[in-house]
Chain A
Amino acid sequence: MTSEIILQAIVTGLMMGLIYALIAAGLSLIFGLMDIVNFAHGEHLMLSMFSSFWLWSLFGIDPIFSIPITILLMALCGIVTHYFLIRYILKAKMLIQICATFGLSIFIRSIAQLLWTPDFRNVDKPLLEGRLEVASVFIGQPQLIASIVCLAAFIGLYLFVTRTETGLALQATAQDRHAAEILGIPSNKMFAIGWAIGLGCVGVAGGMMSNYFFIFTDVGINFALFAFVAVALGGFGSIIGCLYAGIIIGLVESLGGLLIDPSFKLLYVFAIYLLVVIYRPQGLFGRY
């Protein structure tokens, strides 16, 4: 076990962590806004990867250029989800909300399986290929670009939520729906915007990952699990917490896999989750 290998694991974990952070940020935004955990988040990620794949396979658009289309499609998907499902369960019990989004996840995944079969696919010869060697650490180019784009999107999201008028309106709705409505902020519209942005984040992550990751119908499950953990770690509703939590999870995953046993990756992440949540139930940066 040389220091190069450990350094390699840290770099890999960091790059993965930035992607987890962006996926989790979408989840966290939706949760903070309306107290609903989107259990179909992994399936939405899968959809965005497939959209990027089909744009490449049918129209020959490279994943790196189809990102804006994927984002738009996913934002549309978010608005549709809000109008056809979430709108009706806003006031329901938590159990019903969980069941509804869980049902959505089963539905999307099995429809995808029916339409596209469970085969593994990948984008052949994308523009981003190859790897760099920096100080005896290998960095895959698509992974590097993906994590940089995800970080940029994350910063963009953070600036949007904290600096723009719409972002502040989102925050106001998250803090107190009724008070925000009195001030003339239509909460239903804000929810739709929240879903569009939340799934737009997933669109960025999925689109970038389709450059180097296998695309299949169950791909979302693991990412969604890590996103749930990241959101709980960072504190439900805290966007900046997702960044730290995502990086922690990425590092734990790759270092645990390297130092102990790669087949139990999920268990290390799970152990971190339990430890943090037991000793600090509101998460690292949680409001409550």
Chain B
Amino acid sequence: MNKLDIAKSEPLWNTNKNIIYIISFVLMFLIALPLFGLNSFYLHLFIMIFMHAVMAQSWNVIAGFSGQISLGHGAFFGIGAYSSSFFFVQYGISPWVSIFIGMFFSAIVAVLIGIPMLRLSGHYFAIATLLIGISFQVVFQRWELVGAASGLWVPLTQGDSWSSLQFHSSKAPYYYIFLFFLVISFFAVWLLNRSKIGFRLRAVRDDAQAASSLSISVSNYKIIAFVISAMIMAPMGSLFGQYILIIDPDRMFNIEISIIVLLITVLGGIGNIWGPLIGAAILIPISEYSRIYLGGTGGAVDLIFYGLILMIICIFRPEGLISFVPKDILERKKQR
């Protein structure tokens, strides 16, 4: 099958009625879940799943939709975390506002990184982003203004506080906040995917030359994808900073973040909007449970699983786990 046939066989609005029922059922279930009195470990598990699903979705936008493989995406996570906490710690700006400051800064950094990297593609791009991810960690480890290697400590409030986004008595508010951001960002990516920008991004991914012959500005759209992806990633950094209340370069710019978003997306199904959610829902419990039961043995047991799963998926199912789901659930039937 050549590329034209593939393009023809792809329905324009591939949303099925079934999936809307599934989504609303799952969503109602998730909203009701904390009311059953889950203990804080399960709440934490769900919070981690939501957070990683959004992070992986951010990576999916850049790698799946626009075809650039970024190996340093953790940088935007760290920038989000640092800028929101920095403004909160230094100037007392509420985290609700500084989340947007974090998004703004990541967008700027994405443009600044994106412009010089426009000419790079494929392996060159991947290696450059890998270096960028590590460079950010090196810089933040030595930057005195943001606390250098010891990082920033978010000042604790007395009791729970919605305005400064801290909850000490229960994890349920965090659960709802992360769920809210999960819904928002998936909806945004869904809109993006079926908008003009989304189609153009995929055109650039599939064939940059053909796309530019149709007067699509390849470089503009590459930067747009980078910026959108960074703006999805940054709030997760900010919220995670508020969740654990300490922001240090080793955690926030950890290379593991860049690895895990890649892993989740590839596991779930790259280029598919539901891939990151499936990947996160499967991988995060594996990781958390392997940490519980095998954690004391050497610290890196969950990473062994990550590497193994990644290789197995690449060999046997490069389309990801989403390819096991029957097509007619995900997509509307072709109309002839």
Contact = CB atoms under 8 A, between A and B. Distances in A.
Contact of A111 (B263, B297, B304, B315): B304
Interface in B84-138: 116, 119-120, 122-124, 126-128, 130-132, 134-135, 138
Contacts of B134: 225, 266
Interface residues of B, number: 43
Contacts of A270: 131-132, 135
B142 A263 contact: yes
Given A99-B314, A102-B71, A102-B259, A232 B298 contact: no
Interface in A221-266: 225, 228-229, 232, 236, 263-264, 266
Interface string A43-77: 00000000000000000000000000000000000
Interface stretch (B24-32, B226-234, B305-313, B324-332): B305-313
A2 to B, nearest CB: 27
Nearest to B259: A106
B138 to A, nearest CB: 6
A266 B69 contact: no
Nearest to A111: B304
Given A94-B69, A109-B303, A228-B130, A99 B315 contact: no
B210 interface: no
Interface in A249-288: 263-264, 266-267, 270, 273-274, 277-278, 281
A114 B310 contact: no
Interface stretch (A85-93, A142-150, A179-187, A195-203): A85-93
Given A95-B63, A98-B126, A102-B262, A264 B304 contact: no
Nearest to A85: B311
Given A273-B131, A277-B124, A278-B116, A105 B307 contact: yes
Measured as residues with beta carbon below 8 angstroms from the partner, the interface class of chain A is 35 or more
A23 to B, nearest CB: 15
A228 B124 CA distance: 9
Nearest to B122: A94
Nearest to B262: A99
A103 B135 CA distance: 22
A123 B139 CA distance: 32
Given A100-B315, A277-B128, A110 B116 contact: no
A117 interface: yes
B301 A103 contact: no
Given A88-B315, A264-B138, A273-B131, A281 B307 contact: no
A16 interface: no
Contacts of B306: 103, 106-107, 110
27 contacts: A89-B314, A94-B69, A96-B266, A100-B314, A103-B308, A103-B310, A106-B259, A106-B303, A107-B311, A108-B307, A109-B307, A110-B301, A110-B303, A110-B306, A111-B304, A114-B297, A114-B301, A117-B298, A225-B134, A232-B124, A264-B139, A270-B132, A270-B135, A273-B127, A278-B119, A278-B120, A281-B120
Given A107-B310, A110-B300, 15 more contacts: A37-B126, A37-B127, A92-B318, A94-B69, A95-B266, A96-B314, A99-B313, A100-B315, A104-B311, A113-B298, A228-B130, A229-B131, A277-B120, A277-B128, A278-B120
Top 10 closest pairs, chain A to chain B, by CB: A107-B307, A103-B310, A106-B307, A110-B303, A110-B300, A100-B314, A114-B298, A113-B300, A103-B311, A88-B315
